[in-house]
Amino acid sequence: MNELEIMGNRLPDNPDELIKFVLVLPEKIKSVRAEISAINKLDISKKVYDQKMEEARMLSGVSLDAFAKMGEFIKQIPKDNAEKANRTQGRIASIKKLGLTQKISEQCQTLAENKDVIEQVKAEAKENDDLPTRTEVLRRVQEMRRAELKNVESPELPTDVYDLIYCDPPWAYDVDLSSGATRSPQNNYPVMDLDALIEFGSKVKKISANNCVLFMWITAPKLNWMNDVLEAWGFTYRTNLIWDKIKPNMGHYSSVRHEIMIIAGKGNCSPRCDGKTIQSIDSVQSIEKTPRHSEKPEEFRKIIEKLYPDTKKIELFSRKRSEGWDVWGNDANIQ
């Protein structure tokens, strides 16, 4: 392989050298597989076939190891002491400088965290005269994550009553959006279908005051669920804010770069600030998204706090604690 010649299982310790393996090996594997396909069609001797299969299997195994080692490097990219957004942008810039897309970067990190799965896939491929692939490793990791998430028990909701509820429900999707990475919601947290969200409404009603405002994130494919969920939770739709993610994201009918934050209420839920503050808030907020799946910008929390200062508030399905907020969710106790 010229400068990418492989000597045993040794891989470069320098990411600038290792990236050559990450980027070039998949193409080399495609080429060898094409040769194997041609050998089968031409009915060339089994010895030649076995030699090419062994070459492809070796290249595939080293490719998996290279992706995993690159994932280790990515995880070690230094972070500043600056604001979280700046640290994230710094990491994104470093990943791009290496020549990796965000998707490949995520796959590298996933493989780095699951080296035991890589070895299992390698062993089974050799036993079955097959090739160990990144797709198969990621598929097994997905299955493991989903099995683990099924066993997650949510904590009890607080018994207090709140004037403001902020939430990003774990909407269930009919289509797996991930294509082998970590983007599919069910790979990251337990999801809820429409029936589950409607049933959850009985709990929401217990913690919402007679005069209460709800800020709820929803994606365009789930807008048809909105009224059913709001009705079950005891709220009526009022308006919405739009998050413009600046960069396009994968969609089924078009490239999607926005998400919607519904504002709903019951009783008297008008903002508790002056009109000047209300008019200073743009209904469309353009903020580049972070790499973490489904993470929402903190700017929207600040908007809510401007509109409703000194309000008893809770965030449902929270991933972290925030000053001045009660929180509830599977991740809220570990951040």
Residue 227: what pLDDT?
A: 96
Q: Note whether 142 and 284 are same-domain residues.
A: no
Residue 150: what pLDDT?
A: 65
Q: Note whether 14 and 124 are same-domain residues.
A: yes
Spatial separation of the C-alpha atoms in residues 164 and 246, rounded to whole Å? 29
Residue 145: what pLDDT?
A: 77
Residue 87: what pLDDT?
A: 46
Q: Note whether 11 and 39 are same-domain residues.
A: yes
Based on the structure, what is the number of domains in the chain?
2
Spatial separation of the C-alpha atoms in residues 278 and 259, rounded to whole Å? 21
- Whether pLDDT at 50 is above 90: no
Residue 329: what pLDDT?
A: 87
**End-of-domain residue from the set 117, 149, 181:** 149
The better pLDDT of the pair 1, 144 is held by 144
Model confidence band, residue 44 (pLDDT cutoffs 50, 70, 90): confident
Residue 261: what pLDDT?
A: 97
- Whether pLDDT at 67 is above 80: yes
Spatial separation of the C-alpha atoms in residues 63 and 26, rounded to whole Å? 7
- Whether pLDDT at 86 is above 70: no
Q: Note whether 7 and 132 are same-domain residues.
A: yes
**End-of-domain residue from the set 118, 149, 180:** 149
The better pLDDT of the pair 35, 294 is held by 35
Q: Note whether 185 and 317 are same-domain residues.
A: yes
Total-model pTM = 0.63
| CB contact set of 196 (below 8 Å; sequence gap of 6+) | 172
Residue 221: what pLDDT?
A: 87
**Domain, as residue range, for 316:** 156-328
Spatial separation of the C-alpha atoms in residues 66 and 63, rounded to whole Å? 5
Domain CATH number, residue 296: 3.40.50.150
| Cα dihedral sign, 123-125-129-133 | negative
- Whether pLDDT at 29 is above 50: yes
- Highest-pLDDT range among 21-25, 140-144, 301-305: 301-305
pLDDT, mean over the chain: 85
- Highest-pLDDT range among 51-60, 148-157, 177-186, 305-314: 305-314
- Whether pLDDT at 282 is above 80: yes
Number of residues assigned to the chain:
335
Residue 80: what pLDDT?
A: 44
Which range is least confidently modeled, 185-194, 221-230, 239-248? 185-194
Burial zone of 108 (CB within 10 Å; 0-12 exposed, 13-18 middle, 19+ buried): buried
| 333 belongs to a structural domain | no
**End-of-domain residue from the set 129, 149, 169:** 149
Residue 314: what pLDDT?
A: 97
Q: Note whether 86 and 188 are same-domain residues.
A: no
Model confidence band, residue 101 (pLDDT cutoffs 50, 70, 90): confident
Model confidence band, residue 7 (pLDDT cutoffs 50, 70, 90): very low
Q: Note whether 34 and 117 are same-domain residues.
A: yes
Q: Note whether 117 and 209 are same-domain residues.
A: no
The mean pLDDT of 19-39, rounded to a whole number, is 91
DSSP class per residue in 156-167: PPPSS-EEEEEE
Q: What is the CA radius of gyration of the chain?
A: 25
| 203 belongs to a structural domain | yes
Residue 290: what pLDDT?
A: 75
Q: Note whether 14 and 139 are same-domain residues.
A: yes
- Whether pLDDT at 142 is above 60: yes
- Whether pLDDT at 82 is above 70: no
